[in-house]
Amino acid sequence: MSQELPELEFDLGEAFIRMDEAVAETIEGLPDFPGFQTRTTLKLDCPVEGRESYEINYKFPEHTIGSDLVTREYFSVLKAHWASLGWEVHGERDDADGNISDIQATRPDGVNVWYSNLLGQAIIHAQVACVSPEGEPVCGPPLGGVTPENDSTKDCIVKEPEESATETTDAIAPFGDVQAAPVSFPGGWGRVTRLGTS
């Protein structure tokens, strides 16, 4: 189950945007997506000198704790959804009762997404391992309706998308051949803009 992450083609300046983007692509495939309660960033261990690892951690709302939707259905949905996006699905683990509790997928650019059921609490972790610490670590507004008081982003600077950027896809596609695409969120969370691989 060991997963060696590929060499990253981006630096810290893009890391948080990419992680949020991977989460956006993930939740796009989730039926009846209930939104998120919190977003938290973490700095993690990286054994490579001069590099840094980070995580964005999204917690599902309390009312979903223990529901079939997040503890069962989403596992099978994500397995298929991630595979359909061309991501490498891995890290499937069971809990003490033999029910699936973890599943992960790595996007071709190296961003890893981990969906976890922690005693009924669903969490999505998006992670980049050992990124070059160059660039201003910008992150966009949180996904899934996280309110500002529940958005803990010590490792990145939250910037609202430019007015024009929300209007045109070209303006928010800073990553070479990566193209922007709008994602609509169920449950009235409105529209956010994500970057998708073309």
Partner 1 sequence: MTVPITYSLLRKADFAALEAVAETWMNLYATLDDQAVSLVGLKSKDDSAFGTDHWEGPSSEAARDKIRDLVLALDERASAARRVSVAIAVAVEEFKGAQADLNEVVAEIDRERVALTEAGSVIPDTSRGTDNVSYAEGLSSRISAALERAAEADEALKAAIGVWAETFSESERLGLVHEAADEADELQDLIDAGASPERINEWWNGLSEAERLGILEGDPALIAGLDGVPTDTRDAANRSLLEAELDRYSPTLDQDIADVQERIAEIEGNWSEIVASGDPGESAEELEHLRDRLAALEDERATRDELVNLQDAISGQARTGQEYFLLGYDSAEDGKAIVAVGNPDTADNTVVYVPGTGGDLDGASGNDLARAETMALDASQVPGSGETAVLVWMDYDAPNHPLANSPSLSYAEDASAPLASFMSGLESTNRDPEENTTTVVGHSYGTTVIGQAASEHGLATDQIVAVASPGMTVDQASELGIDPEDFYATTAPGDIIHAAAESGRLGADPTDTGVNWDGRQTGVDWDGFGGNTFDSDAMGSDPIEIHSNYWDANNPARINMALIFTGNGKEAT
The dihedral formed by the CA atoms of 46, 74, 30 and 32, expressed in degrees to the nearest 10: -130
Q: Does position 57 bind partner 1 by CB under 8 A?
A: yes
- Print the binding letters for residues 84-113 with partner 1: x by CB under 8 A, - otherwise: -------x-xxxx----xx-x-------x-
Closest by Cα among 108, 128, 154, 157 to 51: 128
Closer residue to partner 1 (CB): 45 or 170: 45
Q: Does position 55 bind partner 1 by CB under 8 A?
A: yes
φ, ψ for residue 180, nearest 5 deg: -80, 150
Q: Does position 61 bind partner 1 by CB under 8 A?
A: no
Instruction: Identify the three-state secondary structure at position 73.
Output: helix
Residue type, 154: K
Q: Does position 141 bind partner 1 by CB under 8 A?
A: no
Least distance in Å: CB of 43 to partner 1?
A: 5
Q: Does position 123 bind partner 1 by CB under 8 A?
A: yes
Residues in Cβ contact with 56 at an 8 Å cutoff, skipping those fewer than 6 apart: 16, 19, 20, 23, 39, 40, 41, 42, 125, 126, 127, 139
Q: Does position 129 bind partner 1 by CB under 8 A?
A: yes
Q: Does position 152 bind partner 1 by CB under 8 A?
A: yes
Instruction: Identify the three-state secondary structure at position 60.
Output: coil
What is the contact surface with partner 1 in residues (CB under 8 A)? Answer: 1-5, 12-13, 40-45, 47, 53, 55, 57, 59, 62, 65-66, 91, 93-96, 101-102, 104, 112, 114, 116, 118-121, 123, 125, 127-129, 133-137, 152, 154-155, 157
